[in-house]
Chains A and B, each alone.
Chain A
């Protein structure tokens, strides 16, 4: 038992304080204005109805985002059932000259030292914005598989089934996406703070 006093449910205040964040996340993930608005409405209604279950272990913002996240994942599970076809070229992902003949990295392509500790980096103002932009810059189908795994948190098996791809393809797609994202962050985020 904790002594934390949980305030009265106030969906109007939640809307005022967190409505824009919830809507922005729904838009980011769904890319549809009306659907995003509906998701926010459903989230606030569900939160209000279930407020008795809120134990105050997380902030209201975290709780509301979790409810919205679960709703989005449910929707994406249904909507993402579209088979993808990747060519061998799509799956390669290696940059010319990146590796030597023996498969060892050529140092000019090696990962640079990032100037801040990762946890400190995430506190810096534009980190999240650049991360979002770098995810958006991934090739369309690669980015979709990446979002399902890393942002929505779906399992390997579930994504493979939804997208009609084998596990080996899945791992190559994710390897490529992560490599692209890391490289994009290095150029656009680390580059800015590398002094």
Chain B
């Protein structure tokens, strides 16, 4: 039994190594063999399985932060800035619209 355990440690990464790989896999596709060893570790280790899920969730949440973030309470747009922006919009309206730029099609945000 000890021998099997030792052999497994040679193939399966430690928790320390697994945590690094779980982060790296959020940035790039790991080689097939590495993914297999990561999977095997997580099958056996509930701590790392949970850690990986939480990391993925937080990564997704950070991507949603620009839209979902609770920014209004910290920083409200000052009234004088609002007035200036309204004036600017009115001037632009009077001057007519220019050609639309390419980066403003809805659903175009990349993550």
Residues of chain A touching chain B, judged by Cβ–Cβ distance below 8 Å, are 11-12, 15, 19-25, 27-28, 33, 36-37, 40-41, 44-50, 52-58, 61-63, 65-71, 94, 99, 102-105, 107, 110-111, 113-114, 118, 121-122, 126-129, 131-132, 135, 149-151, 153, 156, 170-172, 174-175, 178-179, 181-182, 185-186
- Given A66-B109, A174-B23, decide whether A150 and B51 contact each other with a Cβ distance below 8 A: no
Determine if B58 and A185 form an interchain contact, defined as CB atoms under 8 angstroms apart. yes
Which residues from chain B sit less than 8 Å from chain A, CB to CB? 9, 14-17, 19-20, 23-24, 26-28, 45, 47-48, 50-51, 53-55, 57-59, 61-78, 81-82, 84-86, 88-89, 92, 97-101, 103-111
Residue in B28, B77, B105 whose Cβ sees the most chain A Cβ within 10 Å: B77
A sample of 15 cross-chain residue pairs with beta-carbon separation below 8 angstroms, ordered by A number, consists of A15-B82, A15-B85, A27-B71, A27-B75, A28-B75, A49-B92, A50-B104, A53-B104, A55-B105, A57-B106, A58-B106, A66-B109, A105-B15, A118-B57, A132-B69
Complex CA gap A174/B28 in Å reads: 12
B59 near A132 (CB under 8 angstroms)?
A: no
With the chains together, A172 CA to B57 CA distance in Å? Answer: 19
A65 and B106 within 8 A (CB): no
Total contacts A to B, CB within 8 angstroms?
A: 216
